[in-house]
Amino acid sequence: MGGVTLSPAVPEAAARSRTSRSAVRQIWGSVLLKRIVFYLVAAWAAATLNFLLPRMMPGDPASAILLKMSELGPVTPDRVQLVHRLFGGAASEPLWRQYFSYLGGLLHGDFGLSLAFYPTPVSTVVRSGFLWSVLLLGVSTVIAFVVGTALGALAGRRPGGWLDSVISPLSIFVHALPYFWAALILVYVFAFRLDWFPLSGGAGPDLAPGFDPAFISSAITHAMLPAATIVLTSISGWLIHMRNMMASVVNEDYVLLARAKGLSETRVTTAYAARNAVLPSISSFAVSIGLVVGGSLLTEMVFNYPGLGSLLNQAILNLDYPLMQALFLVISMTVLVANFVMDCLYVLLDPRTREAAS
Amino acid sequence: MTADLVLDVQGLAVEYGTDRPARAVDDISFRLHRGEILGVAGESGSGKSTLMTAVSRLDRPPARVVSGSVRYHPRDGAPVDLLSAPPGQLRELRWDRLAVVFQSAMTALNPVMRVGAQFVDVLRTHQRMNRKEAWKRAAELLELVGIPGDRARNYPHEFSGGMRQRAAIALALACDPEIIVMDEPTTAVDVVMQRQILAQLQELQARFGFAIVFITHDLALLVELADRIMIMYSGRVVETGTASALYRAPQHPYTLGLRDSSPTLRGPRREVRAIGGSAPDLWDLPAGCAFHPRCPQRTAGCDTTRPPLLVRDGHGTACLLAQPAAARPATTPNGTEEGA
Ligand SMILES: Nc1ncnc2c1ncn2[C@@H]1O[C@H](COP(=O)(O)OP(=O)(O)OP(=O)(O)O)[C@@H](O)[C@H]1O
Ligand SMILES: [Mg+2]
């Protein structure tokens, strides 16, 4: 029998596959473009909502702000104008004019003056809180994700193995601990009893923020305990998630084939099993990294940490509308940026999404 | 040819589960010679894949090899029992000497790795090639099965089913192995593609000289491809012999049923008849010959005596009908039992 020859590819086929490859590259480019457009639209929608919300509120936030400002000190005419631009209230200008001057102000980062920290500009207040939050929560969320996912991969590599039977029940136990309780226990033991770490704050109060060793080391010791509570309470979620994915992926044929190929156990586990099992975790990670900024309230209150969560708390207590408006905007923008970055990363990690998205 | 033994499987038995184990492969022995194509056929659930994973040491819980040996005979040096080989030695033999093609080539390629990269890692592991050589070789291997070399940079989902199947075969050739175990490598593609792949396979086999264990439920296909055929039923070998003898003159009623239930593309036209009934439950095997409840030719004794595989002149049959008359319990000629 036979009749099929083993001649290499005919030129036509080669040419066809070359065009299909450049087509793939084009698709990939257009997918990226689509995503950028999508996120720009989402960012615009968030900004617009932020413009509309105070204007739809019952009462007149602008006059309330102006009243409060006048109690704190003299108010210049351009300050009055700025407040109207951000919060409406003065009927002198039509809505669309207000809207465009609001958008123009945003582009320059001009949010007016904070009432709670009068007369510091809102942008300055937010910038400092943002740095604290990103440092503490960003770093500890990344640590929890990386360590949790790695441990989950190890446990799920051999479901029912000894590592799995130690790690998995332990992480389910840790997962069940309420955050508040775990945080208080850590504070009691390590700050109050042992006095290894400071009780609260972002850095020593007598140190000026800056790039000097004394301040940095103080900031790190202050961040230890809050970071530990975040890592401790969120690590098990990542671990369990990854462990379950891994336990099912190791049964896939391509993992079995990798083993049949005689590759090293490390390569089978990482390049074949974990590389596929981690994909769903990456998408949840996008969500949680976006929530870092908004979700820091509890930690920052327990540790009196000067991040965005504390700022939001103070803004609400002081009816500091300008600060609130800026915080909401920053929080929604962080969620969008984090999701955009993760989206792009996901497309790089999972080649199948390049087509699916187009 | 007998001197050139490459794989010698003796008394292999595999069970599923521990508290109430089911024997999916029961006391199977066969020998594979260099350059030979051994076909394994049987209905779905007869234990073909279980046998294949056990032989290639790819079995996973709840499967458990309970007895037997799988001896690999290298060209030089002492035979190695794959079942007791230490992991390091086994890893060195894998793919370099013994490669596999899975039943589901669709899912056998890693979806997040370029097809070529899945050739490259194995080439770098076993052939110590550098990255550039390995990519070049990957393209060559793909061209061997009719896939343009530059498609090596594609991901598996950019391949059609037939291409993936052929890529899986090309992958098995990567390290020029001595044995390739193929578990239904063509079930997922249409008949035309199936013919094409098999023709290529035969040419490659003639060129490189590897031995093949070819698993399928399609006996007609095996007859054209294989040198020898082994028929499995409920985890046991019921008949084994050369492809032509087995197809021309099947000794076991099950082989006969299997042959007549599959249409052929070549050869004389026959009426296609299905075997009545269905394969027995492994947890509840009938006594005697496992096939007897479905057997059109059963006689007295079939439900009590389990016939051993008797080999005569290279042809083995596990059926009372084929045993020498002396060994057979007394029955009336037409198989009806005498009244008490
Ligand atoms: N993981 C498992 N757990 C329990 N029993 C199993 C398992 N895998 C297979 N079996 C049983 O082992 C027997 C043989 O299965 P196997 O997959 O080897 O059959 P097969 O001949 O390859 O069938 P097919 O032609 O459908 O691929 C079947 O009865 C099946 O139910
Ligand atoms: Mg099978």
Query: For B81-115, how does the pLDDT look when each residue is reduced to its tens digit (9 = 90+)?
Result: 999 999 999 999 999 999 999 887 778 999 999 99
- Burial (0-12, 13-18, 19+ Cβ within 10 Å), A107: exposed
pLDDT tens per residue across span A136-189? 888 888 999 999 999 999 999 988 889 999 998 998 888 888 878 888 888 888
Angle at the Cα of B208 from the Cα atoms of B83 and B203, rounded to 5 degrees: 115
Give the integer Cα–Cα distance in Å for A38 and B249.
69
Q: Ligand 1 atom 18: the closest Cα is on which residue?
A: B47
d(CA B32, CA B48): 16
Q: How high is the pLDDT of residue A276?
A: 94
Provide the pLDDT confidence category of residue A21 given band limits of 50, 70 and 90. Answer: low
Sorted by sequence, the CB contacts under 8 Å of residue A14 that are 6+ apart come out as: B148, B150
Give a yes or no: residue A48 inside a domain: no
Does residue B234 have its Cβ closer than 6 Å to ligand 1? no
Q: Is the CB of B48 under 6 A from ligand 1?
A: yes
* Ligand in nearest proximity to the CA of B50: 1
Of A77-81, B10-14, B172-176, B288-292, give the lowest mean pLDDT range: A77-81
The answer to the question of residue A241 being in a domain is yes
Cis status of the peptide bond prior to B61, with omega within 30 of 0:
no
For range B315-319, the mean pLDDT = 90
* pLDDT class of B340 with cuts at 50, 70, 90: very low
Least confident piece of the model among A224-238, A282-296, B76-90, B133-147? A282-296
Contact across the interface for A251 and B147, Cβ inside 8 Å: no
Q: With an 8 Å Cβ cutoff, is B224 touching chain A?
A: yes
Q: Which atom of ligand 1 is nearest to the CA of B42?
A: 21
CB B174 within 8 A of CB B197: no
For residue A59, tell me if it sits in a domain.
Answer: no
User: What is the average per-residue pLDDT within B165-179?
Assistant: 92
Domain count, chain A: 1
The distance of Cα A159 from the centroid of its chain, to the nearest Å, equals: 31
pLDDT band at A2 (very low <50, low <70, confident <90, very high): very low
How many whole angstroms separate alpha carbon B240 and alpha carbon B32? 13
Q: Which residue has the higher pLDDT, B270 or A108?
A: A108
- In a domain, residue A272? The reply is yes
Q: What is the CA radius of gyration of chain A?
A: 27
Tell if the CB–CB gap between B108 and A17 is shorter than 8 Å: no
Sheet-wide strand order for B37-41: B98-101, B179-183, B211-216, B37-41, B228-233, B236-242, B315-317, B310-312
The answer to whether B137 faces chain A, any CB pair under 8 Å, is: no
In percent, how much of chain B has pLDDT > 90? 53
In the predicted model, is pLDDT for residue A12 greater than 70? no
Find chain B residues with C-beta within 8 A of A22's C-beta: none
Judge whether A205 lies within some domain.
yes
- CATH of residue A336: 1.10.3720.10
Find the mean pLDDT for residues A48-70: 79
Q: What's the predicted TM-score (pTM) here?
A: 0.80
Confidence band of A11 (pLDDT split at 50, 70, 90): very low
Cα separation, A228 vs A182, in Å, equals: 10
- Smallest Cα–Cα separation from A44: which of A87, A94, A98, A106? A106
> Is residue B263 scored above 70 in pLDDT?
no
Q: Is 0.90 exceeded by the ipTM?
A: no
In a domain, A328, yes or no: yes
Residue type at B168 in one-letter notation: A
Establish if A269 belongs to a structural domain: yes
Q: Give the Cα separation of A109 and A337 in Å (integer).
A: 17
Q: Measured between alpha carbons, how far is A356 from B138 in angstroms, rounded to an integer?
A: 27
Which residue segment(s) compose the domain that A323 sits in?
Answer: 122-357
| Residue B196 vs residue B274, higher pLDDT | B196
Q: DSSP letters along B55-78, please?
A: HTT---TTEEEEEEEEEE--SSS-
Q: CB-based contacts of B243: which residues, under 8 Å, 6+ apart?
A: B39, B222, B223, B225, B226, B227, B228, B229
Instruction: Provide the pairing of β-strand B211-216 with B37-41.
Output: parallel
Task: Tell me, yes or no, if A258 comes closer than 8 A to chain B by beta carbon.
Answer: yes
Residue nearest to atom 17 of ligand 1 (CA): B49
Q: Say if A110 falls within a structural domain.
A: no
Please give the DSSP secondary-structure letter assigned to residue B338: P
How many residues does this entry show for chain A? Answer: 358
Indicate the helix (H) or strand (E) that contains B170. helix B161-173
